[in-house]
């Protein structure tokens, strides 16, 4: 099986931090935990299936390795 390291871009990391902070600020600790769990599962799925999705936007945006 081929795997690929998942490296979120800086903007993605900031988005995740803002979402978790929002949930915690609003008192939704379980929602924050659920979001983090779902994100970890999504990263694991991408890691295990690195060739899934389309590379169309990688070419259009000149972002080598991007798949959507």
pLDDT on residue 59: 87
Model confidence pTM above 0.85: no
pLDDT in tens, 1-59: 677 788 898 999 999 999 999 999 999 999 999 999 999 999 999 889 988 888 888 88
Alpha-carbon distance 8 to 11, whole Å? 8
Tokens of 39: 């994100």
In this predicted structure, the answer to whether residue 63 has a pLDDT above a threshold of 90 is: no
Tokens of 45: 């799925």
Alpha-carbon distance 62 to 48, whole Å? 24
Tokens of 54: 């389309």
pLDDT on residue 68: 80
């Amino acid at each position: 099986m081929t795997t690929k390291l998942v490296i979120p871009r800086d903007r993605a990391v900031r988005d995740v931090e803002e979402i978790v902070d929002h949930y915690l600020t609003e008192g939704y600790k379980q929602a924050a935990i659920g979001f983090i769990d779902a994100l970890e599962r999504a990263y694991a799925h991408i890691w295990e299936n690195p060739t899934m999705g389309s590379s169309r936007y990688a070419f259009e945006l000149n972002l080598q390795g991007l798949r959507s």
